[in-house]
Structure 1
Amino acid sequence: MWMYLGLLAALFLGLHNLCKKHAVRGNEVFPVLLGTLIAGFLLILPFYIGSIYAPEATKEIGFYVETIPWSTHGYIVIKSMIMAASWILAYQALKHLPLTIVTPIRSAGPFFTFIGAIFIYKEAPNNYQWIGFFLIILSVLLYSRIGKKEGIHFKSNKWIFAIIGATFLGASSGLYDKFLIQSLMLNPQTLQFWFCFYTIIILLIILSITWFPYAQKRKDFKFRWSIPAVGILLQTADYFYFKALQDPDAMIMLLSAIKRSQIIIAVVIGGLIFKEQNKRQKLIPLAGIMIGVFLILYS
């Protein structure tokens, strides 16, 4: 079951990436990111309020936000710091690179997760899962060759390093998620609510230095419908992802790889909407990624 929850997370992540590309075009990254987080926070806020004033009702529908000790809050703050850094790098790169290049590089996240899953959690996939996993990684490497035809040289473009750094931090957060969900026994909505809360505080501190004091920057900011859409889609994807992690049999390295099937939305739909280049060639590694996901599910 956890594999199919991972596919649902991938669906909403793919739609989230399309909206994110639209949201950052010609906009400052930090206020866009703050807007998406506030939208996601407002989506979860009624469940938090309901957990205080109508706990039985929220428990019945499965969205009860638990009371947690301060030590657990500290662990969530660490996750917020990791993901805030990852998102800042990713959003900056997204402004300067095609979506069909950014998304595949982000798809290399399972490789970093793979290292941690093997050495930290001692995960042991079967033969089909190994084949599927490495097929996904090889397909991502093929994307880097296609990217050079669009004038994007992976060794000298600083935004490539930004998206690689974002991918590494995101993978680290994924490994950390398994600890938060399975070891600390946090339910999805509790983790999502406090994670949003602390990340918003971090971004408000950054914006108080880099954006709020500058009138021209505030004037240049363009609010778009896609900004709240990004936050809502991300929270929906995270919910299914965390629900998958609640399964004690869930392997974080395989779940991370399954989530990369979001790429089909980015390459096919995103390529058409944003008129990006070499769409047909990108379908070849796309097929590799989809076959890899199929092998993991088939296993």
Structure 2
Amino acid sequence: MYLGLLSALFLGLHNLCKKHAVQGNEVFPVLLGTISSGFLLILPLYIGSLLYPEYMSEIQLYITVIPWETHGFIFIKSAMMAASWILAYEALKHLPITIVAPIRSAGPFFTFIGAITIYQEKPNFWQWIGFFLIIFSVLLYSRIGKKEGIYFKRNKWIFAIIGATFLGASSGLYDKFLIQNLILNPQTLQFWFCFYTVLILLVILTVTWFLKAEKRNVFKWRWSIPVVGVLLIVADYFYFKALQDPEALIMLLSAIKRSQIIIAVVIGGLIFKEQNKRKKLVPLVGIMCGVFLILYS
């Protein structure tokens, strides 16, 4: 649970920097910049594992050699997350962070359903209450969104962030399989995941961005782009370390990670001067109560 909370802290900071990076900017090169910076951060571990395997094993940062079949499984995760991030970054570019972050917080509901059906995790009464409280709070956000001219039924960016949330939750369920069934350590999964995601994004950018001068001229480099990648690597490392525990419940970890919403809504609302901050605190409290009930249970 503590590793999950550490992951949530860095994810909250990651979301603030992500909003700064994509605001009024080209999404695809920003996404490539963030993932590439995370890849460059972890690349020395791979080089160290090739040159000094014993030392890297001693400090528990050794990147293991994996079979081609496992590479295929990791590539599937990269494709899922690339699609999720593209949708999420586009939505974040066009919607307030105080709307996007709470919808993303509904991810534990999808994870919850998957955890029950796939991994046979058994929630108790309070966990049921907590999850439905999170979903009800997200519905409240839709009513507040209308006051900002954001109609959930007609806004394509709302559907984009819902799609991103579903894909992200699916990837979260898949993480448990990769970590526990394929026995991957966090740094091995992170390195190859970043490697394949960069390759996927390079193919997409070759078609949609590199060859179009008008789009290249719109792109603005910002300090927050590499910071996003670094914060994501740190957050995922703590999350994967938590998943290494064979008794870790993916639905609980997923819900604990949603406590990042405090940073996104409270601090993000102030930094980006967004509307209806006080009204958004009501469903925010609902979401946090839902997370608390899951932890309490």
Superposition TM-score, scaled by structure 1 size:
0.97
- Equivalent residue for 1:260? 258
AA paired with 1:158?
A: K
TM-score (norm 2): 0.97
SS in 1 for 2:24: coil
What corresponds to 2:10 in structure 1? 12
**Inter-partner Cα distance in structure 1 for 2:246 and 2:129:** 23
Q: Provide the residue aligned with 2:219 in structure 1.
A: 221
Query: Is 1:28 aligned to residue 42 of structure 2?
Result: no
Where in structure 2 are the equivalents of 1:29-178 lying within 5 Å? 29-178=27-176
Residue 298 of structure 1 aligns with an amino acid whose one-letter code is Y
1:85 and 1:203 map into 2 onto residues whose CA distance is 10
Secondary structure, aligned partner of 2:120: coil
Q: Structure 1 residues 259-268 or 121-130, which shifts more?
A: 121-130
- How far the C-alpha of 1:216 sits from its partner, in A, is 2.6
Distance 1:51 1:126 in 2: 43
Partner of 1:295: 293
Q: Secondary structure at the match of 1:27?
A: coil
Between the aligned partners of 1:27 and 1:4, the Cα distance in structure 2 is: 35
CA RMSD, Structure 1 to Structure 2 (Å) = 1.0
Deviation at 1:51, TM superposition (A): 0.8
Query: Aligned match of 2:268 in 270, 294, 297?
Result: 270
Matches for 1:183-202 after TM superposition, within 5 Å: 183-202=181-200
User: Do the aligned partners of 1:133 and 1:254 also contact (CA within 8 Å) in 2?
Assistant: no
- Can you list the C-alpha shifts for 1:145-182, whole angstroms capped at 9, x where unaligned? 11111110000001111111111111111111111011
Letter aligned with residue 131 of structure 1: I
Instruction: Give the conservation status (yes or no) of the 8 Å contact 2:80–2:171.
Output: yes
1:192-231 Cα offsets, whole Å, 9 max, x none, are 0000000000000011111111223222211100000000
Quote the Cα distance in structure 2 between the aligned partners of 1:289 and 1:5: 20
* Aligned residue type for 2:187: Q
Matched residue count? 297
Q: 1:232 aligns with which of 230, 233, 249?
A: 230
Structure 2 CA distance, aligned partners of 1:297 and 1:257? 9
Q: Is the 8 A contact 2:37 2:230 kept in 1?
A: yes
Identity %: 81
One-letter amino acid matched to 2:291: V
Match of 1:152, as an amino acid? I
Residue aligning to 1:210: 208
Q: Deviations over 1:102-153 (max 9, x none)?
A: 1111111111111111110000123333322222222222211111111100
In the alignment, structure 2 segments of 5+ residues that lack a partner are: none
* Cα distance between partner residues in 1 of 2:219 and 2:144: 33
SS in 2 for 1:171: helix
Counterparts of 2:244 and 2:285, CA distance in 1: 30
Q: Within 1, Cα distance between the matches of 2:213 and 2:252? A: 46
Q: Cα distance, 1:94 vs. partner?
A: 0.7
Aligned-residue offset at 1:294: 2.1
